[in-house]
Amino acid sequence: MKLFIHFIAISAGLIISTVAQNAPQCTGPLSVRKEINSLSSSEISQIKDVFLKMKSAGWWDWFTAIHVQNYSSLHSTPEFLPWHRRYTRDVEQTIQSYIPSFAMPYFDASAVCADPASSIIFRPDYFGGNGDQETKCISSGIAAGWIMDSSNSCIKREFNQGNRISSWQCPENVMSDIQTSKTFGDFSYNLELGIHGSVHNAIGGDMSSNASPNDFIFFLHHSNIDRLWLKWQNLNPSAKYQYTDYKGNPSDINGKLTLYDTPIIDSFDVGYGFNCYTYDESSTGTMTRTGLLNQKKNGNSDSITEKNLINFLDSQDLQKFFPDLVSNKPIINAPLMSKSMSPNSNTNTTSSKSTGNENIAGNIPTKDFKFNSTISLKTETSAVIAQNKTQGSSGGLKYPIPTRLTDGFLRMMGYDIPKYREYYQKQVDLANLLNSKGYVSPYL
Ligand SMILES: [Cu+2]
């Protein structure tokens, strides 16, 4: 109850009813979301202190409860992207009530595709590494030792290859998903089945259950998924308000978001309504290998491989996997900013708290919400494809084949299995093609 009052207090005064098709443009400063590698050590230790306070105030269990309760409406459905955009923003705004300058970092997972376990996020001074061999409990990182309401237990991780994580989608695969998905429904499902599912499945433990928000990596990951959606939106302006499921059936964009009392369409515009944030995309086009590696260090992955691909693939292959690269679309370093917004274009310096539209429906669970459906699946190691790190023909590392999602994970998520097989085959075909052409990824 205490938590509920806290929540209302934060939301009070910020409720704006949204009847128009588009929420109003943000007038205050935008939160600028940076890649996790770009955070300073003082930002990380500040987060650590605040997250502990938020844990005792019940926030993390609260946010997990929301996800657990509404799970089935939010995955494998058109709501996947708009709902998680809203949810991630709510968490960001809650953290901002403790640290006003906070912006949700993103984890550019594909930038560490060949050896995900080496990511900075798993360091002990960040979010800790794999779970214990027996208990699966994490023993390092910001949330080590926490007991979560959803399981009445620790936060668990179970990497899919012992203390390693097998390869997931590299930037080329993610870029291909973005360029070959021409409708919202296609894009949403490809992203969900692709890098989204891979990260959840491969980290395992809480991350591969419906209580995944227990692990803060969830929010770093969804911030990145959201960034990729924004990228797709900016590349496909005419399809921006399309709202269909993956089979192409139209869905109601003016309907309400699950749990929230706001129209789904309000999630579609970043820089408007409650979406007063943007992404820091500092990958600009220095196309030398050193330049690429420096950019890699800064964590941004998806706009820097394009020129590289043009040099290795013929036009037929480009057409199949990277159609935008043959259509003269100006996509290299495509701007991520919504419309004309940029973080520097704001002259209004009033509090960022004044621009949010935090209208939350009254049916969100209280902290006493009962957990009875948490599913935690064992990783099916037999289905894990071993990572291939042998040398490619031109001296660079061979392009890794993304690991297939396990059958247990596919079932738990309710994914369309034939659709997944088709999607996954295309991912493998691309990896094989790149290897057959002696392609050297700037990320390996
Ligand atoms: Cu989710």
Residue 85 CA to ligand 1 centre (angstroms) = 10
352 Cα–ligand 1 center, Å: 26
User: How far apart are the CA of 413 and the centre of ligand 1, in A?
Assistant: 10
Q: How far is the CA of 318 from the centre of ligand 1 (A)?
A: 32
Report helix angle 217-235 to 184-191, nearest 10.
Answer: 150
Domain ranges of the chain: 2-436
User: What are 146's two structure tokens?
Assistant: 């926490």
Per-residue pLDDT 10s for the chain (444 aa) are 444 444 443 443 333 333 345 789 999 899 999 989 889 999 999 999 999 999 999 999 999 999 999 988 999 999 999 999 999 999 999 999 999 999 999 999 998 899 999 999 999 999 999 999 999 999 999 999 999 999 999 999 999 999 999 999 998 899 899 989 989 999 999 999 999 999 999 999 999 999 999 999 999 999 999 999 998 998 888 898 989 999 999 999 999 999 998 999 999 999 999 999 999 875 422 223 334 444 444 444 444 556 677 778 888 998 999 888 776 554 443 333 322 222 233 333 333 333 333 333 333 333 333 333 333 333 333 333 333 344 444 455 689 999 999 999 999 999 999 999 999 999 999 999 999 998 888 777
Backbone angles phi, psi at 278, to 5 degrees: -150, 175
Distance 4 CA to ligand 1 centre (A): 22
Question: Per the structure block, which two tokens stand in for 414?
Answer: 């309710």
Domain 2-436: assigned CATH number:
1.10.1280.10
Distance (angstroms) between ligand 1 centre and the Cα of 76 equals 10
CA dihedral 235, 240, 243, 249 (to 10 degrees): -60
Supply the Cα-derived Rg of the chain in whole angstroms. Answer: 21
Phi, psi of 167 (to 5 degrees): -60, 145
Residue 108 alpha carbon to ligand 1 centre in Å: 17
- Please tell me the distance between residue 67's alpha carbon and the centre of ligand 1 in angstroms: 7
How much distance in Å is there from the Cα of 247 to the middle of ligand 1?
Answer: 20
Distance from the CA of 206 to the center of ligand 1, in angstroms?
12
- State in Å: Cα 329 to ligand 1 middle: 32
